[in-house]
Amino acid sequence: MDQDITPDVSYQLDRVVEILRGVHSVLFITGAGISADSGLPTYRGIGGLYNDADTPEGIPIEVALSGQMMNANPGLTWKYIHQIASVCRGRTYNRAHEVLALAEERLPRAWVLTQNVDGFHRRAGSKNVIDIHGDVHDILCTRCEYTKTVQDLGELAPKPLCPECEGQIRPDVVLFGEILPLHKVAIMDQERATGFDAVFSIGTTSVFPYIAGPVVEAQRKGVPTIEINPSETAVSEVVDIKIPLGSAVACDEIWKRLD
């Protein structure tokens, strides 16, 4: 999509800057779009392999990457975890992640609620991160308490086993069909109850209720809501300000104007 900043978009960016100058707390909700500028694929866009198609095994990718499949056939699930990891290898955070980390330093209170499992927010410097779906670099044993952080999943065997008990190893992420980690939900609920002066939705289609919910709740309370996304999403008609740009371009422009 054209990333040119039209006069109308420029006006909306200035509105966002004025909001940020007057707030003390902000919630940034992020999805795959914020990492797209790092070269990571968005959902069902992993090199185009899974767009409107099943896997070679004849099942949807959501089934292959489900908790049920990890239990029944971990080798198959790991096949696609490794495949995705190979596409993402060598990528790192981008300017959008950096700006959110800088915002945390500037504001008295700022949190990131992300669906992404790439770990880029923390690598960029954000500390208040609720990675609600986990981090793919963190692995754990399903039998004992063994855990480890692995920067490159390519280091692992096709169907890795625990070096301590030979139990099944899996990434510490929420696979399809699994529930959200309760301790992270508790943090999210606590911060939402405390409230924010502004809520941003960045690079997410907002299809999950726990992702769209904070935006809708803020709008109902009269709290400014901003969406950064070149596409229309489930919250586009709800937010106060819509910035139809990629995450890195929009966040960089906002930060330059804020300074």
Closest-CA residue to 214 (of 240, 251, 189, 242): 189
Q: CA–CA separation, 143 vs 149, rounded Å?
A: 17
Rg (CA), the chain: 19
Question: How far apart, in whole angstroms, are the C-alpha atoms of residue 236 and residue 250?
Answer: 16
> Would you call 97 a catalytic residue per the annotation?
no
Which three-class secondary structure state does DSSP give residue 242?
strand
> What's the token pair of residue 157?
């065997």
Which residue among 24, 82, 97, 133 is the active-site one? 133
Angle at 127 between CA 124 and CA 131, to 5 degrees: 85
Residues belonging to the chain: 259
29 CB-near residues (< 8 Å, 6+ apart): 112, 113, 114, 199, 200, 201, 202, 204, 206, 211, 214, 215
Q: How far is it, in rounded angstroms, from Cα 130 to Cα 116?
A: 10
* Cα(239)–Cα(218) distance, integer angstroms: 9
The residue with tokens 């390519």 is 154
Give catalytic residues, as residue numbers.
Answer: 133
